[in-house]
Amino acid sequence: MNGDPRPELPSGKDLDDMCRQLAAAVEEHGLSVATAESLTAGNIAAHLGKAPDAGSWFCGGIVAYTREVKHSVLHVPDGPVVCEEAARVMAHSTATLMGASLTLAVTGEAGPNTQENDRPGTVWFGVVDHGTAETEKQVFSGDPEAVLGATVEHAIQLLLRHASGRHTPSSRVVN
């Protein structure tokens, strides 16, 4: 404990270790990975791009920070963009655009202000694994930096679980 009231953020070393594990798993299973990011603004892609042999398995990422980009590039329907449907559509559209076998999308509210009356820290994750979509909602606590860190860590964990075959197919909400 460092005296800081915020939840402990993963260290860069921890994220690098997870990305190395992810690289090994995707290479072992012959997968390709892509991302679509909103609140994380490319942070997930930046970590993946530093992983070993990323050029052989990481197709790339799309940063769709504004509502307009989500609608025009990723085909998210009109309406809320911090929701299950937006996360699913972002993941499907990115999988199609990038030709990736495993795609992760994140959309959410880091706070402190909100756009859609969602509680700050609300994040929707969408994963498309060989054409099958799953979604998950998390509500993280802390300031925007803590929410961002928790989102990046959880996203990489989700990719790692899918790449290594340790996921349970479902659509779930976790509060």
The dihedral built from the CA positions of residue 139, 144, 150 and 151, taken in this order, carries a sign that is: positive
Give the domains, in start order, of the chain with CATH numbers.
12-173 (3.90.950.20)
Q: What is the pLDDT along the chain (175 residues), one digit of tens a residue?
A: 344 444 444 556 789 999 999 999 999 999 999 999 999 999 999 999 999 999 999 999 999 999 999 999 999 999 999 999 999 999 999 999 999 999 999 999 999 888 788 899 999 999 999 999 999 999 999 999 999 999 999 999 999 999 998 665 544 444 4
- The full DSSP string for 107-149 is EE--SSS-SSSPPTTEEEEEEEETTEEEEEEEE--SSHHHHHH
- Report pLDDT for 173: 45
- pLDDT of 167: 61
